[in-house]
Structure 1
C-alpha cells in the first residue's frame, strides 16, 4: 500500500497578473463607490436632506425686492422707493461689452456647459482653488438666490452641492441670456446699488446703454467682491482689478491688444450719484409722490390674501413704475436757479444781520424771541423722539441747553460742530428758504418742483405744505373779477386818491384806508399802470365796486383750497395761500379762462408693465377768454414798466442790488406776464411769471416771519424771488429741446375790450377831470 503524501504547508506566491487584476478591481470598486457616493450626495441635496431646496414655482418666479421707479416725462429715472434699490433690466438692455466682460472674467466656458464646469471643477479640486475657482455664473446665481453662507467645512460642502443642483435646474428653466440678466440684476454692488442698472447710475451717473467698456470692466471686477473692490474705498485696487478684466477680454478675443492697452492706461473716472431717499434730484417732489402713493395704495388693493383680507401694493418691494410729469432737464435748471440766487441772497442777509441785536429776528422783544424758541422746541423732532422714549418735559428742556455734536448746513457745505440744540434752532432760523413750481397751463403738467434750498436740512416743502401771505400777487384776481363783471379795459383810468372803506362794509370792523407804498395820491392812472406799479388805492377801489365775495369765489374756482375770508383787505393780498395753489390759479389766465387741475402723476404700472392707474384731466371754465386775455395783458405791463422790468433790461439802476444779483443780463424780449408780491415787514417775496405754455411761481422768505430784511430794497419780491424766475427761464430758453414759448399770448377772436391804449385814447376823447370808469 502506497504511503500518503502529506499536504504542503507553504503558501502560494501571488503572481504579478493577479495583483494587477485585484488593483484594477479595487480601483473600479472605489471609483464606482465614489461615483455612487457623489450621485447619492446629489440626490440627497435634491431631496432636501441638506436643507430646503427651491420648488419649481420658486425657480419659475425667484423672489426679489424690486425698487419702485419714478420716471420723468422725458424718460429719466429721477428717484426710487426701495428696501433694496434694484431696478430690473432685460438681457437686451445690457451692452454687449458688459456681457463679454462678464463671461471672459467669471465663466469663459459659460455657453458650453449646463451649469457646472467640469474642467474648472477638476482644476479647482487639484490645485485647491489657487488657479481659479470653479463656480459658474449659474452657480453664483444659485448661491445668491437660494443658498446662504456657511459656518464650517461640512456646511460649505453641502452648500456647494445644493448650488450645483440648483444651477443645473436653472439651466433647464432659463436661457443663458436670462441667467446672465438675473445674475446681474441680483448682485449687490453696495452703496445702495443693487443690480447692474442701479450700479451704473450710482457709480457712473449714466444708464446702461451709455456705459463705456472701461466702466463696464469696473462693475464686472466688483463681482468678485464688491466690498474689497469698491471704487469709493480702494480706487487703486479697483483700477488694477478693472485692468485684469480688460486683460481677460483680450485673452478671449473680445477686444484687441491695442484697445486693451489704451483702456488700461485710462484713470478711474467715477461720477458718484447716490440714490438714497435724501440724495439726487427732485427730493421734495419725490417725498410728495411718496405721500400720494401711500394714500393710493390704501384705496387700490391688488387683491386678497388667503384669509380674504385686502392685499396692498408695497412701493418699496413691488417694482412699480410711477410716470410723472416732471421734466428732468427743467427740474435741474430750477434747482440750479434756486441754489445760485439763494446763496447770494443769504450772503447779503448775513451781512446785514451783523448789526442786528435781535438776530435772526427783527423788530421783536426778548419775550417774543423766547416765545418763538419755545414754539420751535415744542414742534421739534428731538422733543418728539424724547417724549416717545419716556423722558419728562424737564429732562427734554434741559437737553436743549447741553452741547452736542451735530452736522449743520452752510452754503459752503455741511459743517461738523458742537453746539446746543437751542443754538442750532437760532442758527437755522436765520436761513432764507425758497419754493418754485413750474406748470404747463394747457395740460396741468407740473414740470419742475423745488420745495426748499436743501432737503437734508430743510424738509418742509414750500410748494404744497406751507401757506404764506401772498401780497400783491393776489391783485390779478381782483382785476380779473372787475374785468369779468364790469368789462373794464387796461386803458381805463382811476384816481390815485385815497379811499376809506367804512366800518361794517366789506367785512371791515373799523374804517380802513389803504396807503400806497410811494405815498402818491394825486392824478389818475390806467389799470395797466396801476397793476404794474402795484397801486393799493386803485386795487381797493376795484374791490369796493365789486365786493370781496366775488373775488374770493373766483380764486376758489381757480383751484385755491386754502380758506379765503371775503374781507376788504384781500384786495392787497392779506390771505395766506400755497405756492402750488397760486401756480394752478395763474395758469387759468394763460389757458384762456379754463382751470386745469395740476397733475404730477400720469400713470402707474406694475413690474410687468400693466397699467394700474391712468390720470384723467380735470378742467372747468372759470372766466371768459376775453377776461383772461385782458388780465394777461395787464400783467404784461408789470414786465414792461413795473417791478418786473429788470427781466427786460437785466439789472437796471433801480434794481441793481450789490451782492444779491450780479447783474444777470436776462434781457428777455418775448411776451411775459407777471406779478411781484411783497408782504408786511418784507417777510415774503413772490414772483409769478407767465409765458403762453409755462407758468412758474417763486416764493422766498424765512421759516419765521420775524426773520426778514430791514428794508424793501432787499426784501421785495423783485429782489428776493424774481431773479430765480429769470435764471430758471434763461436756462430753459437756452435748451431748445424744451420748446418753451417765445410767442405772443393767444388773442380771442371776438375781443370786445380794447387793450391797445393808443387806439383806446383816440376813440375815447375825455377831459382832465374824468370820473371813475369814464371813457
Structure 2
C-alpha cells in the first residue's frame, strides 16, 4: 500500500507539475500571442486583376497566384484527400491531436530526430498566419495555444477554408483554387480524382512533389494520398486502381488572359499602384473593370498591326536577323538549328525561322517548333531591298534575290505563310464613346513586347491637317458658312512672327481661286486654312482650340498653327473630335468603369460626363423619375441605356455630370457634314463637276454614309493622322517614327504589288487612313447606318457651286447647302461658273516653307 500511495502521489505531483508547466508556458508566451479574431476578417494576398467592360481578363499583377474559394465551392473528394493526408481527425479534435503528439514524441525519443510532425490543420493555420516555420520548442508551444484559441474563435469550416486558401502549392500558386488553374487550367469542380490527390499532396513539399518539376516524386506522393483515401474508405478499390494508373497531366498554365491589351492594363496598374501603393495594389485582391470593349479592342489591334506591316513591307526588306551558317557550309542537324531558333522569342504572330532551301520562286524554312514550311512566291515577292525610307530597289524576280540558305528570318501567317520583319514604324489607335468619354479601344503601339511607351497618352506629335476642322469651327462661329468663298491663291505676305519668310503652299501645289469653305476643308487646302485663321484671329483661334481640350502652352503663336504645328497626343485628338460626333460637348475620357475589392464590393465607381443637357425647367416635379446619386451611375452600354430611360429627361441622365458645351449643336452639325465630304466628296462626276475629298478611300472600304473624318500630314511626312467618327464611335489613328527626325518617306510603284497598292509620298490618307478604314469597317459591321438629322436652327438652301450664292438652277451647277438660320445667302447668282475637277490625296503639307 505504501508503494501504491507513493505512485499515486508521484502521479499527482507530475500532473500538478505538468499543469503548472503548461500554465507557466502559457503565461510566458501570452504577451507574444496575436489576436486570432483577426482571422475572421483576414485579407488574403490576392493579385490585381484587370478586366474589359464585358468581363474578360486582360492582365494579372502580383507575385502570388491566388483564387480564393468558399468552403461550399471545394469538392468533397478534395476535402477528403486533404484531411486524409494532413489531419484525419480534424472534425473531432479541438485544435491539437494528442495521438499525433504522442506519435511524434515517440519518434523523437527513439531516433533523436524531429522527422514526424504532429501539427493539425488548425496548427498549420496558426503557423501560416502568425508564426514562422522554424522547428523550435517555443514556436511549437505558441502554435498549440494559438490553435486552441483559433478553435474557439472559428468553426471547423472557416478554419479549413483558411487552410485551403492559404497553403503554398508551388509555381506561385497559393490555395487550391490557384493550384487547379496553374497545374491543370481548370476550376475546382472540373478536377478529376487523381488531380485532386495530386494537389492534396503538395502542402508539405510543394517543390519536391511538384508534378511539373519532379514528376516521379509527385506521382509517388499522389499515390500515397490515394492510398490514405482508400484506407479511410473515401474511395473504392476500383477508383483507387484507376486513379493510380492515371498519367500525370499537369503542365504550367499562366493566368487565363482572355484579352491581350497590355497598354490599357498598364494604365490601370499604374493608377492602382499610385493610389494604394504597389504592395497593396498587387496583394489587395482588387478587380479593375475598364471601359474597353473586347471585340473592338481586338479589331483595333489587328488593324494597327496590319497597317504597320503594310507600311513596312512597301518600303522594302531590310534583310535577315542573323546568319546561322554560311550557304556553302553543310546544313546543321535540325535539332541544332531548332536550339538556336529557340533563343529568339516570337511575338505578335512573328516566328523565327531558318532558311533551309531556296528555289526559283519559293523557299523552305524550319521553325523553332520543328515545322518545315514552304514560303511561296506570294509571300516573298513584296521583298524589294530597302535602301532608305524613300528608296527601294527594283522588284525581285527570283527568291534568290531575297533569301540565302542559313539565314534566320521572321515569318508570319496571313492568308498564307510569308516572309516578314519587325516593323520600325510606330503607331497608335484610340476610340471613344463620344457621348460619355468611355475609352473603347486603346493600342499604344505595335508591340508592348518591344516598347512599353504608350503613344496614345504619352506621345505629343504635330497635328497636321487634323487641326483644320477646329480652325473652320472658329470661322463658322464668327460668321462664315460652308458656302463662304475663301481665296485659294498663293500667300505672298509672309507672317513676320515666324522669323523667316514663311509662305505656306498647297500640296499638290495647285490653286483654284475663290473656293467654298466645304471644299477647302474636304480637300485640306492649306492656304485657305491660313486665310481662315487670319479672318478669325490668332488669339481667338487658340481660344477655340483650348476649348476643345488642347493645351494652350502647346499652341504656337504664329500662322503655322493653321496647318497643324501644335504637338498633341492622340487621346487629346480623339477627345476633341468627339465634340463633333456628340453635338458640341467636351466629354472627359476615362478608362476605368469601376473597381471591386477582394470581397466583390465596389469601392470606386466612374462618374463620367454625359454629352447632353437635361431640359427640366418646364417639367412638373411629380413627373420626374426617382433620382440616384452620380456615384451609382455606370457606363457599360446596357446599364447606361437602362439608366437613361429610368432617370433621364429627353435621354439625358438628370443626376449625372454633364459635359461642358463648347460649340453649338448647329456648328457641330455643319462641321460634321463638311467632314463627310472629306470621305464622299461632292459635285456630279457625270457633268464634270465631281471632286474627291482627301479620304476617298474610306468611302470605298467602309462604305457608310454616316461616317465623317479628317486626314492629317505634317512636314516631310513625319506624322500622319486620320481621325473620324460615326454617331456612336470616334477613332484616331497616328503613324510615325518615335524618332521625330525620321521621315515616313515615299515608295515607288512595285511591279510585284497589287493593283490597289499605295505608292508615292506617305500621308494621312495613305499611311494612317488604312488602319482607320479597316477598324471602322469591322467595328461598325452589322450595325445600322444612322442618317443625320439637322438640328433646330439649321436650314438648307440651293446654292450656285461656283459662287456660293443662291441659285434657281436645278442642274449640276447647283446643290443644296446647310446654313445656320439667318446666315444663308440672300443674293442670287447671275453668271454660270465652271467648277474644277480635283482629285487629291492628302500629300505632304509643308508647314514651314
TM superposition score normalised by structure 2: 0.63
Cα gap change, 1:222 to 1:554, in 2 (>3 Å) = farther
* Offset, 1:582: 0.9
Pairing 1:468-483 to 2, within 5 Å after superposition: 468-483=461-476
Greater CA deviation, 122-131 or 77-86? 122-131
Measured after TM superposition, the shift of residue 722 of structure 1 is 3.7
Equivalent position of 2:814 in the other structure:
761
Map of 2:157 onto structure 1: 177
Distance in 2 (alpha carbons) for counterparts of 1:582 and 1:484: 20
**Does residue 535 in structure 1 map to residue 517 in structure 2?**
no
Deviation at 1:174, TM superposition (A): 1.6
Q: 1:747 aligns with which of 766, 789, 799?
A: 789
Alpha-carbon separation, structure 2, partners of 1:259 and 1:495: 89
The equivalent residue for 1:307 is none
State whether residues 47 and 285 of structure 2, in contact with CA within 8 Å, keep that contact through their aligned partners in structure 1: yes
Deviations 1:382-406 (A, max 9, x none): xxxxxxxxxxxxxxxxxxxxxxxx9
Matched, 1:598 2:595: no
Higher strand share: 2
Q: 1:74 to 1:503 in 2, by over 3 A?
A: same
Q: SS state of the match for residue 434, structure 1?
A: strand
Q: 1:567 to 1:174 in 2, by over 3 A?
A: same
The match for 1:458 is: 451
- In structure 2, do the counterparts of structure 1 residues 219 and 258 end up closer, same or farther at CA, with 3 Å as the change threshold? closer
Alpha-carbon distance in 1 for matches of 2:162, 2:775: 42
In the alignment, the residues of structure 1 paired with residue 462 and residue 252 of structure 2 have an alpha-carbon distance, to the nearest angstrom, of 45
1:144 is paired with a residue whose SS is helix
**1:319 to partner: Cα distance:** 5.0
Contact in 1 for aligned 2:305/2:446 (Cα 8 Å) = yes
User: Do the aligned partners of residues 316 and 682 (structure 1) sit closer, same or farther apart at CA in structure 2, a change above 3 Å counting?
Assistant: same
Aligned equivalents of 1:632, 1:733: Cα separation in 2: 18
Q: 1:190–1:227: 8 Å Cα contact kept in structure 2?
A: yes
For the 8 Å contact 2:666–2:791, the answer to whether it is kept is no
Q: Return closer, same or farther for 1:253/1:475 CA change in 2, 3 Å cut-off.
A: farther
TM-aligned CA distance change 1:313 to 1:120, over 3 Å: closer
1:468 Cα offset (Å): 0.6
Deviations 1:479-513 (A, max 9, x none): 33334443634xx48578433162358x5555544
Structure 1 residue 170: deviation in Å? 1.7
> Is 1:271 matched with 2:253?
yes
Deviation string for 1:1-43 (max 9, x for gaps)? xxxxxxxxxxxxxxxxx9xx979986x8888788767656654
In the TM superposition, what whole-angstrom CA distance separates every residue of 1:537-561 from its partner, at most 9, and x where no partner exists?
4433433433343333222112222
What residue number does 1:11 align with?
Answer: none
Match of 1:486, SS? coil
Residue 583 of structure 1, CA deviation: 1.5
Whether contact under 8 Å (2:704, 2:785) holds in the other structure is no
- The answer for the alignment partner of 1:707 in structure 2 is 742
In the alignment, is residue 582 of structure 1 matched against residue 624 of structure 2? no
| 1:353-372 equivalence runs, <5 A | none
- Tell me whether 282-291 or 345-354 shows the greater mean CA deviation: 345-354
Q: What is the deviation of 1:144?
A: 0.9
Work out whether 1:556 is the aligned partner of 2:540: no
- 1: distance between equivalents of 2:300 and 2:528? 35
Kindly state the Cα deviation for residue 443 of structure 1 after the two structures are TM-superposed. Answer: 1.5
Secondary structure of the 1:188 match is: coil
Contact persistence 2:211–2:218 (CA under 8 A): yes
Q: Is 2:721 the counterpart of 1:721?
A: no
CA contact (8 A) 1:503 1:509 kept: no
Q: 1:499 to 1:345 in 2, by over 3 A?
A: closer
For residues 115-166 of structure 1, give each alpha carbon's deviation from its aligned partner in whole angstroms, at most 9, with x where no partner exists: 3345555666678899996543322222211221225xxx1x4434433332
The structure 2 residue matched to 1:567, chosen from 543, 555, 558, is: 558
Alignment partner of 1:435 is 2:428: yes
Gaps of 5+ in 1: 1-17, 299-311, 355-405, 416-427, 651-666
Write the distance in 2 (CA, Å) between the matches of 1:289 and 1:703.
24
SS of residue matched to 1:351? coil
Residue of structure 1 in register with 2:687 after alignment: none
Q: Is the 8 A contact 1:86 1:193 kept in 2?
A: yes
In 2 relative to 1, CA 745–166 (structure 1 residues): closer, same or farther, beyond 3 Å?
Answer: farther
Contact 1:115 1:136 in 2 (8 A): yes
Whole-angstrom CA distance in 1 between matches of 2:241 and 2:477: 73
Q: Secondary structure at the match of 1:687?
A: strand
The TM-score with structure 1 as length reference comes to: 0.68
1:449 equivalenced with 2:442 (yes/no): yes
More divergent stretch after superposition (581-590 vs 287-296): 287-296
The CA RMSD measured in Å over matched residues stands at: 5.0
Matched, 1:114 2:149: no
CA distance in 1, matches of 2:787, 2:241: 58
Q: Matched residue of 1:696: which SS?
A: strand
Cα 1:253–1:297, aligned 2, differ >3 Å: closer, same or farther?
Answer: closer
Q: Residue 666 of structure 2 aligns with which residue? A: 626
Q: Is the 8 A contact 1:202 1:272 kept in 2?
A: yes
CA distance in 2, matches of 1:216, 1:725: 50
Q: For the residues of structure 2 that align with 1:204 and 1:636, how far apart are their CA atoms?
A: 53
User: In structure 2, how many angstroms separate the alpha carbons of the residues matched to 1:271 and 1:105?
Assistant: 26
Contact 1:70 1:324 in 2 (8 A): yes
For each residue in 1:35-86, what CA deviation from the matched residue of structure 2 results, as whole angstroms up to 9, or x when unmatched? 7676566545543449932235555555755555545433455446657666
- Flag the 1:190–1:745 CA change in 2: closer, same or farther, 3 A: farther
3-state SS of the aligned residue for 1:675?
Answer: strand
Deviation at 1:248, TM superposition (A): 6.8
Are the structure 2 counterparts of residues 316 and 708 from structure 1 closer, same or farther at C-alpha, using a change threshold of 3 Å? same
| 2:131 counterpart (122, 135, 147) | 147
> Is the CA contact 2:576–2:586 (under 8 Å) kept in the aligned structure 1?
yes
Equivalent-residue separation in structure 2 for 1:585 and 1:493 (angstroms): 24
**Structure 2 residue corresponding to 1:673, chosen from 695, 708, 722:** 708
CA shift digits 1:513-554 (9 cap, x unpaired):
433333333477665554444333443343343334333322
State the secondary structure of the residue aligned to 2:451.
coil
Provide the rounded CA distance (Å) in 1 between the counterparts of 2:544 and 2:241: 69
With over 3 angstroms needed to count, the CA separation of the structure-2 counterparts of 1:510 and 1:109, relative to structure 1, is: same
Matched, 1:514 2:498: no
Match of 1:54 among 28, 31, 34: 34
Question: Aligned partners of 1:645, 1:217: CA distance in 2, in Å?
Answer: 65
Match of residue 421 from structure 1: none
**Alignment check: 8 A CA contact 2:469 2:671 kept:** yes
SS at match of 1:462: coil
CA–CA separation in structure 2 for the residues paired with 1:440 and 1:255: 59
SS in 2 for 1:111: coil
Q: 1:106-505 alignment to 2 at 5 Å? A: 106-117=86-97, 134-150=118-134, 155=136, 157-189=137-169, 192-195=172-175, 219-230=199-210, 233-234=213-214, 253=234, 261=242, 264=246, 267-268=249-250, 270-273=252-255, 281-293=260-272, 296=275, 314-316=280-282, 322-328=288-294, 330-339=296-305, 341-342=307-308, 345-346=311-312, 351=317, 412=350, 431-455=424-448, 457-486=450-479, 488-489=481-482, 492=483, 497-500=488-491, 502-504=493-495
Work out the CA distance in 1 between the residues paired with 2:210 and 2:796: 69
| 8 A Cα contact 1:498 1:513, kept in partner | no
Establish whether residue 545 from structure 1 lines up as the match of residue 525 from structure 2.
no
Change (3 A) 1:668 1:503: closer
Q: What SS class does the counterpart of residue 465 from structure 2 fall into?
A: helix
Label 1:547 to 1:83 Cα distance change in 2 as closer, same or farther (>3 A).
same
Distance 1:729 1:203 in 2: 40
Please, which moves more after superposition, 215-224 or 683-692?
A: 215-224
